[in-house]
Amino acid sequence: MMKRFLFGLLSLGSTLVWAETPYPGLQVDVTRDGNQYSFTASFDTPLSKCAAYQYLTDYEGAKYLPGVIESLAFRESATKVRVERIADERVLFIHVRLRSTMEYTEKPFDSLAFKQLTGDSKTFQGNWTITANQQGSTLRFEGSWEPDSMIPLFIIDHFAKNGLIDRFDAIAQMAAKRKGLLTNGCGEAQMANSGE
């Protein structure tokens, strides 16, 4: 039961919009309707649209995010990838190891959608979109989550609020650090993709 509750905390968070965020320009909004959470996050990154897409599709690179122990990707077709993740979460004095399997659907270089195949939530799905801007690109996330837990939702709200901004902050910070890294194939992709 606690394991199911904590799985969702690795992936999202809580109840409203926070004005101050660690990463400049990071915007996060989460609402709850009954047992269903809907959430959005967006931030600008210095990565080009192609580089941002490569960052988001570096599934095994997710192991460098806080709490993620292992992230294994298995390509199933030209646009589908199955990702198995193991993560550790600590809430108060409780330590839990969580496992999930997600299916990602890729649309180079514009978006990336996923849905949970197995895991500790009733449902978890989302979509990343990438939009070019003058400084690089804007990454926007929209998702929904329904926990599978007997824990009261007001407790989930409280713990989720404390973890969501940290999760997206880590994603944004990691993207910004990749600016100086070479990205294979982006030169050719930029020439082929006039929206870049």
pLDDT tens digits, 19-36: 445 799 999 888 889 888
Query: What's the whole-number mean pLDDT along residues 188-192?
Result: 51
**CA dihedral over 119, 57, 87, 153, signed as positive or negative:** negative
**Do the Cβ atoms of 30 and 164 come closer than 8 Å?**
yes
- Tell me which H or E stretch contains 173: helix 153-177
Give Cβ neighbours of residue 24 (< 8 Å, ≥ 6 apart): none
d(C-alpha 140, C-alpha 129), whole Å: 5
Q: What is the pTM of this model?
A: 0.81
Interval 9-26 mean pLDDT: 54
Confidence of residue 152 (pLDDT cuts 50, 70, 90): confident
d(CA 29, CA 42): 9
Residue 74 pairs in a beta bridge with 82
Compute the average pLDDT of residues 130-151: 90
The pLDDT of residue 92:
54
In terms of Cβ atoms closer than 10 Å to its own Cβ (0-12, 13-18, 19+), residue 51 is: buried
* Structure confidence at residue 19 (pLDDT): 40
The residue ranges of every structural domain in the chain are 2-192
Higher pLDDT, 151 or 64: 64
Structure letter (DSSP) for residue 138: E
Classify domain 2-192 by CATH number.
3.30.530.20
DSSP, res 185 = T
CA–CA separation, 53 and 68 (whole Å): 20
